[in-house]
Amino acid sequence: MHPDAAEMLAALDAGFPDVTTFEPAELREVIRSRRGPLQRQPDMREVRDLTIEGPGGEIPLRIYRPHRDDPTLPVVVFAHGGGFVFCDLDSHDEFCRSMADGVGAVVVSVDYRLAPEHPAPAAHDDMYAAVEWVSKNAADFGGDPTRIAVAGDSAGGNLAATVSVAARDNGGPPIAAQILLYAVIDDDFETESYRLYGSGYYNTTKAMRFYWESYAPNGTDDIRLVPTRAATLAGLPPAVVITAELDPPCSAGDAYAEQLRAAGVPVQHRRYDGLFHGFLTIASLPVTGTARTEIWEMVRGTLDAG
């Protein structure tokens, strides 16, 4: 285990609620009550909240524009994690600000519909609608419609991956990069990382089963839920794939990076050994700042290469 992570992981593993024991609304309130007040840092040139029309009603977005002199910046459309069940724009506010500042991009955070009230593919469909909206409206907020990336952590990484497949298959907006941060690729609970780290490392097999059962009560055969259901991965956007060794979904994320590469997709893959699911959103963890700097550089390189 990474020395910076041991104390934090012990606290998370001991204190994070058993998500399987709450009703959805109660669980969201419990998670929300554990957050500190928004610090609104790092500072942005502009932060704008708005709503767009989606397939199931209005979708709230939050647009972050960093302090940059460039009149036009790349755009990262971001989906937050939370097991498809909880988290929102505020839960990932600091992270999106850090990404905007570190990458030098406009970040558009998407408050997609949550399960189980809105089962799959509702979240996927909202994320896709947000990408379409950004493609049509990027110029209005200083974004470059030719350099749109999709990104997400955990469940949000699943949405970024599946939207990349859908955009390719449906003639959707061109996507310049997919940024998958310890993404939930599939519902295979028998991998090596589930076997080794399925309990005692904050994110558990029990919780992951609950998330998938909430999001996909009718199964996961749909390509909009699991990107490896696609007939081919060829032609997908260049990928930045980040995994964490002590995370149950790690093996699937590592394998997906190799599957993308084998299909001819340019891939930058980094596994952070000794670290756990969610570490990138814990700004107080010393190793997080270093990891973010490395990842933002990967993202910039991938966008510049396109």
User: Annotated active-site positions, please?
Assistant: 154
In 3D space, the residue among 101, 119, 271 whose CA is nearest the CA of residue 180 turns out to be 271
Backbone angles phi, psi at 109, to 5 degrees: -90, 135
CA atoms within a 13 Å half-sphere pointing along the CA-CB vector of 172:
25
**Structure-derived torsion over alpha carbons of residues 212, 187, 164, 46, reported in degrees to the nearest 10:** 50
Question: Which residues, 6 or more positions from 120, have their beta carbon under 8 angstroms from its beta carbon?
Answer: 84, 215, 216, 218, 220, 222, 224, 225
Sheet holding 57-65, edge to edge: 46-54, 57-65, 106-110, 73-79, 143-153, 177-181, 239-244, 267-272
Q: Determine contact, residues 166/128, Cβ cutoff 8 Å.
A: yes
The residue whose two tokens read 């502009």 is 46
CA atoms within a 13 Å half-sphere pointing along the CA-CB vector of 79:
40
Indicate the DSSP class of residue 150.
E
